[in-house]
Amino acid sequence: MTKEYLKVIAGVDTHADTHHVGVITDTGQHLADKEFPAAGAGYQGIIDFITGFGSVLAAGVEGTGSYGAELSRVLTRKGIRVVEVMRPNRQARRLRGKSDPLDAYQAAESVLSGRAGVTPKSRDGAVESLRVLRAERATAMRARVAVMAQVKTILTTAPETLRARYRSMTSPALMAALEKTRPSGAPSEPLTSTATVLKRLAVRYRHQELALIDAELDTVLTLHAPMLRHIQGVGTDVASQLLVTVGDNPERVTTEAKFAALVGVAPIPASSGKRTRHRLSRAGDRQANKAIHRVVLVRMRYDNRTRAYVARRRQEGKGTKEIMRCLKRYVAREIYNQLLDPRPAPDAATLRKARATKGLTLQEAADALSVWPTTLSRLERGLSHDSDVHHRYETWLSSQSTAYAQTPYPPVDRALPT
């Protein structure tokens, strides 16, 4: 078969300084392997090497999230389909041995056999900016926690005259008070040196690094996915984590069931005998699972529909874990639909105008809808988003004439997970 009609698959074993490439045919025949530097000229050499054998069907790359990230981007820009390959099976490695050429060929064979078929994250858009900002935020948060622990440790052994001032203070109040102190005296005095160190630690704790990072995260989200935070319970931290989990190319997660598995909320059968039940998946991205867990906790505390759902399921004999499993799956479905088909929150600017036109007060509307007036005020000013309250408020306003008649608003039956 001539080179023009030969179909090949490449496999790449990636390292910090070098990449080893193996090429096989679409029938599994080994053609050649070669090592290249992990740099600009080396990437072009890899492309010339694998395209020199024929038409490239795909390239299996190990470590697309680390050493192979830049190579994946270069291959994708050249129109070569990149497939993420996991590290070789340890049992097979013990039988066949280990070397860079063997690992490269095994990466190509994984693509050929279908064992590897995951499209890697592109890492070339706004989500990559969110990822590096979140990495910085995580280290800043750990440093902040370490400073707090050190302050508490120093105060434990500090002189009583110093400990007595701060004994009953909460952590935020303690750090604010320590920052405002003005230690004086000789540095050789234990009381002076202790007070000085505590002040410096408090200044470090209250440094505005976290606020700066959060502001930058908010800016990126406003430009890239402003409507994701319109979902109740989803704030800057949750939204940024979910976007990082999905990546810059969310189309690689083809169904909402796959998204549920990715974030670790897919139900796993756990039935035995006469008992039929499901449990929550322990797999998936645990940070994304944590984010969805926080959304569920917020809704269970503040959302009336969710609280009514929880009460109903408890009457059916469901436990808290089972109820939260159902809610997590529901939240994952809602978030996936927003990621793939963004829908803006309802425009609340017309609500205040409609209320004023009909001569209704905020208190009257709040009483009719059984919510706090501040809830409606924040909704009217666009400071919060709640599609359920917005729908109820809008429906109630449309049903009111200029002369307000006090009639309780009927509950809205909107689908929740069963």
Instruction: Annotate 345-365 with three-state secondary structure.
Output: CCCCHHHHHHHHHCCCCHHHH
329, 357: one domain? no
246, 332: one domain? yes
Q: Are the CB atoms for 364 and 246 separated by under 8 Å?
A: no
Provide the strand spans (E) within 262-396. Answer: 267-269, 278-280
Closest by CA to 47, choosing from 34, 31, 62, is 34
Average pLDDT for residues 50-69, to the nearest whole number? 91
Which residues, at least 6 apart from 166, have a Cβ–Cβ distance to it below 8 Å?
A: 155, 174, 177, 178
State which residues form the domain around 388: 345-418
The confidence band for 412, taking pLDDT boundaries of 50, 70 and 90, is very low
12, 108: one domain? yes
pTM score: 0.74
Q: How far is the C-alpha of 209 from the C-alpha of 303, rounded, in Å?
A: 33
Q: Are the CB atoms for 81 and 50 separated by under 8 Å?
A: no
360, 330: one domain? no
Please report whether residue 122 resides in a domain.
Answer: no
pLDDT of residue 61: 94
351, 336: one domain? no
Which among 305, 323, 340 is the end of a domain?
Answer: 340
Task: Assess whether pLDDT exceeds 80 at residue 344.
Answer: no
The confidence band for 65, taking pLDDT boundaries of 50, 70 and 90, is confident
Q: Are the CB atoms for 92 and 107 separated by under 8 Å?
A: no
Please report whether residue 138 resides in a domain.
Answer: yes
315, 377: one domain? no
pLDDT in tens, 281-324: 788 889 999 999 999 999 999 888 899 999 999 999 888 988 99
Which CATH number is 355's domain given? 1.10.260.40
Please report whether residue 291 resides in a domain.
Answer: yes
Classified as helix, coil or strand, 407 is coil
325, 284: one domain? yes
Count of domains for the chain:
4
pLDDT in tens, 252-277: 888 888 899 999 998 888 788 777 77
Please report whether residue 121 resides in a domain.
Answer: no
Please report whether residue 118 resides in a domain.
Answer: no
Cα separation values, 163 from 90, 157, 174, 178, Å: 56, 9, 11, 12
Phi, psi of 115 (to 5 degrees): -65, -30
Q: What separation, in Å, do the N-terminal and C-terminal C-alpha atoms of the chain show?
A: 58
14, 86: one domain? yes
Average pLDDT for residues 74-97, to the nearest whole number? 81
310, 264: one domain? yes
Please report whether residue 304 resides in a domain.
Answer: yes
pLDDT in tens, 34-47: 999 998 899 999 99
Please report whether residue 29 resides in a domain.
Answer: yes
Q: How far is the C-alpha of 202 from the C-alpha of 148, rounded, in Å?
A: 8
Length of the chain: 418
Q: How far is the C-alpha of 116 from the C-alpha of 114, rounded, in Å?
A: 5
Please report whether residue 214 resides in a domain.
Answer: no
pLDDT of residue 31: 93
The confidence band for 18, taking pLDDT boundaries of 50, 70 and 90, is very high
Which CATH number is 49's domain given? 3.30.420.140
Q: Are the CB atoms for 61 and 85 separated by under 8 Å?
A: yes
* Between residues 243 and 1, the one the model is more confident about: 243
Which among 180, 209, 238 is the end of a domain?
Answer: 209
327, 393: one domain? no
Which among 151, 185, 209 is the end of a domain?
Answer: 209
Q: How far is the C-alpha of 406 from the C-alpha of 396, rounded, in Å?
A: 11
Q: How far is the C-alpha of 396 from the C-alpha of 214, rounded, in Å?
A: 37
At residue 1, what is the residue type?
Answer: M
Q: Are the CB atoms for 82 and 61 separated by under 8 Å?
A: yes
318, 354: one domain? no
Task: Assess whether pLDDT exceeds 50 at residue 351.
Answer: yes
56, 102: one domain? yes
- Any idea what DSSP says for residue 225? -
Task: Assess whether pLDDT exceeds 90 at residue 19.
Answer: yes
* Between residues 403 and 203, the one the model is more confident about: 203
Q: How far is the C-alpha of 212 from the C-alpha of 191, rounded, in Å?
A: 34
